[in-house]
Structures are given as C-alpha cells and as structure tokens.
Amino acid sequence: MPGGPGDLLRQVLQTGQCVSCGLCLDLCPYLQAAAERVVMIHHCGLEEGNCFRVCPRTPTDWEEMDRRVFGAPRADHVLGHYRQILFARATDPVVAAAGQYGGVVSALIIFALDGGKIRGAVLTAGAPGEMPQPALAVSPDEVLACAGSKYSAAPSLRALHEAARRGVEPVAVVGRPCQVLAVRKLQAVQGIEAHHLAGRKVALVVGLFCFWALEPGFHAFLRAVAGKARILKVDFSPESMLVRTDRGPLCKPVEEVRGFIRPACRECFDPTAEFADVAVGSTEYDEAWNTLVIRSKRGEALVRAALEAGAIEVRPYPPERLPALRAAVRSKKLRALEVQASRGESSYLLIPAGYRQALTGRDQR
Ligand SMILES: Cc1cc2nc3c(=O)[nH]c(=O)nc-3n(C[C@H](O)[C@H](O)[C@H](O)COP(=O)(O)OP(=O)(O)OC[C@H]3O[C@@H](n4cnc5c(N)ncnc54)[C@H](O)[C@@H]3O)c2cc1C
C-alpha cells in the first residue's frame, strides 16, 4: 500500500493512532520520540516512504500477511494461525522467578542465544514506575534484566536498528502484537536500503498477548500509588492492578487505570500477536505458568528444541479454558471494529469481508 510521510502524519500521528512501536525511529532522522510519543520534526516531502510502509497502523492487508507469514489463509478467525496451544514455564528457577509469569519468553530467548540460533534480542528494559526503554540484549544476564512486563508502549523496535548498526545478527524480537506486525511489514518491504535490512536478520519473532498498553502518565500514577515503597512487580487481573512492593502488596481497581489506555489500543484487532512465531500470555489463573501459542513451523521447532534441552516444560492447555480465551479475543476484535466504524476514518485494517463475517457469526469451536 503506497504512502509517504505526509500520509503517516495525517493517518497515524495526528489521529492518535501511533502505537509507539519504535520501528520508524531511526529509519528516518525526521521522526523522533519523546516519552513514547512519535513526532515528525520535518516533512521530507517524499510521496512514498518506508516510514509509511512499515507502520503497523497504515493499511495492512491481513489476508496477504497470513499468506506471507504462514503460507495460507487462516482457518481460525479468532486466534489466527496456530499449531498448538499449551501451558508452559521456564524450568530454571532463576528465569522463572525473574519472569512476569512462568518466564517462558525469557527462557526461549536465553535458549536461542545459548544455542547460537540468535546473537541478540530486541527487548524492553526498565524498572516498574519508570519509562521503559528499548534494549538489545546479547547475553542471558541482559535478557534476565529485561524480564517482566512494562505496561506502556515502549518503542522497543528502535533496538532493531541498533542491532543492524552493530552487526548483531540474527536477532529475535520480543514485542507487543503491533510490534510483531511492524516487523512482518518490514520483512515484506522490497528493496529497502542496505542499513535498514534489519528485518531480514530477524530469526525469531516472539509476540506477547496484549489487550492494551498504557500512556506514559501511568508511570507517575504507579509511583504515587506506591508512595515510599519500592515497586517490585506490577500485574493486572481483569478487575485489579496488583503492585508488589518491598512494604507489601497493593491493589487498585482496574477502573482507576483505564483512563491511561492508549487511544490507539482501543482499535487494536490483534490481542494475541497473530503474526508471531510463538505468542505468549498469562494463563489468567496460575501465575507460575504461561499460555504458549505455537504459530509457525519455526516457532514449533524452537519450542521442541527448548523442550528437549529442558529449558521449558509444558502441559496441555485445559480444553475447558479455551472458550473463555476465544470469547475474550473475539469480543476485543469486535470492539475494535466498532470503535473504528464510529471514528469514521479510513481503517488500518484491510480485512476481507469473510474475516468479519466469521467473527460476527456463532463461534463453533
Ligand atoms: C503492555 C502489555 C500488555 C499485556 N497485556 C496482556 C493481557 O492482556 N493478557 C495476557 O495474557 N498477557 C498480557 N501481556 C503479556 C504478559 O504480561 C507477559 O509479558 C507474557 O505472558 C510473557 O510472560 P513471561 O513470564 O514469559 O515474560 P518474561 O519472561 O518476563 O518476558 C517478558 C518480555 O516482555 C518484554 N516486554 C516487557 N514490556 C514490554 C513492552 N511494554 N513492550 C514490548 N515488550 C515488552 C520484555 O522485553 C521481556 O522480554 C501484556 C504485556 C504487555 C507488555
């Protein structure tokens, strides 16, 4: 879909649709970020540009992306392509303890690094209550230092360009669903300039489940909630924000946080990172484990190798929990379509009519 910086400005930056994935930063010196806001400081005047092509909020042909990443149209319109859904966790207690839940993401990245499958990983660093930062991790310790969820829209993909500059390749990318889509769009760009070949060096894409990310103002709110206590970990249940501190746990109704949800996230159609090799989320009831969705052949090979090496362990996904996961994802997608329709602007989602119809019908699975 052709477009240039002017289109990016009009369709994404000026409409609050930017998800701060970070990929356009460093593709162009005129795009800068401040506090998780991307701004265009100068218009280069080009009619077409890679900033527009790789943005996850410029029009994206979902069907074409399915074919490009998985080689076929999807059979499942709620969860996208997947080979298997499991519960999983890291076996190393240090990794499990550092992780947000079971530490599967960190365990897979460390396993891939140790085995030489990747030489670095694009991650997100930062302590709770502080603004998270893009990070290029090249050692297991650096991966562990990035463990844990930071609930705002850190522009982590900036570190992909750092990897290209430093010659760190191949790399894994860990990101929110919008960041996964951005990486896939980068990989699809033909004839991209040599130093922007970053997308071609991505050997593994690990997606996080994400139903929303919060505005940077959330960090100050969190610090105020904690007061003088040191924040150790933040987590969300459907009803509450749970803050673990060195002075004991704190709990706030999730309603107090909803005002910080990034407007762009309300239009997000992909809460489970549909274009990732593997996608990882919570189990919604056992915080020592993760939900692990194996999507691609590459993801399947990695998980199999990590299992054989004993880096992770898995158990079957309880079939009685699948309807709840499907219902949550389906209702998020339908809400996103509604919000878009009410905004009346052109949508970034070029979803074939069949995809929409399949969502609005009765979920048979
Ligand atoms: C903004 C946000 C919202 C989320 N919402 C949900 C949800 O609604 N439901 C659900 O099941 N799961 C959600 N998750 C995913 C969940 O919090 C865990 O990240 C996931 O289950 C992996 O757990 P783990 O123990 O394997 O992670 P870990 O082993 O601790 O690894 C976490 C990884 O996440 C990366 N990361 C941390 N913060 C960010 C960020 N802001 N942007 C990009 N990457 C980041 C880190 O680099 C690290 O590699 C969300 C995550 C984020 C960042």
Ligand 1 binding pocket includes 221 (Cβ within 6 Å)? no
For the entire predicted model, the pTM comes to 0.97
Tell me the one-letter amino acid at 296: S
Query: Using CA of residue 260, residue 263, residue 264, residue 268, what is the dihedral sign?
Result: positive
Q: How confident is the model at residue 194 (pLDDT cuts 50, 70, 90)?
A: very low
Average pLDDT, rounded, for the chain: 93
Lowest mean pLDDT among 188-192, 259-263, 281-285, 313-317: 188-192
285-335 pLDDT tens trace: 899 999 999 999 999 999 999 999 999 999 999 999 999 999 999 999 999
Residues with Cβ within 8 Å of residue 71, at least 6 apart in sequence: none
Ligand 1 binding pocket includes 99 (Cβ within 6 Å)? yes
Ligand 1 binding pocket includes 22 (Cβ within 6 Å)? no
Ligand 1 binding pocket includes 213 (Cβ within 6 Å)? yes
Give the residue, by CA position, lying nearest to ligand 1 atom 33. Answer: 147
Q: What is the domain partition of the chain in residue ranges?
A: 5-215+261-360, 217-259
The pLDDT of residue 199 is 59
Give the residue, by CA position, lying nearest to ligand 1 atom 4. Answer: 210
Atom of ligand 1 nearest to the CA of 101: 25
Tell me the one-letter amino acid at 258: R
Q: How confident is the model at residue 27 (pLDDT cuts 50, 70, 90)?
A: confident
The pLDDT of residue 198 is 60
154-169 pLDDT tens trace: 999 999 999 988 999 9
The pLDDT of residue 139 is 98
CA of 154 to the centre of ligand 1 (A): 12
CA of 349 to the centre of ligand 1 (A): 24
- CB under 8 A, 24+ apart: contacts of 255-262: 256/221, 257/214, 257/218, 257/221, 260/214, 260/215, 260/217, 260/218, 260/221, 261/212, 261/213, 261/214, 261/215, 262/19, 262/20, 262/153, 262/212, 262/213, 262/214, 262/215
The pLDDT of residue 356 is 81
CA of 233 to the centre of ligand 1 (A): 12
271-280 pLDDT tens trace: 999 999 999 9
CA of 281 to the centre of ligand 1 (A): 7
CA of 297 to the centre of ligand 1 (A): 22
Give the residue, by CA position, lying nearest to ligand 1 atom 41. Answer: 150
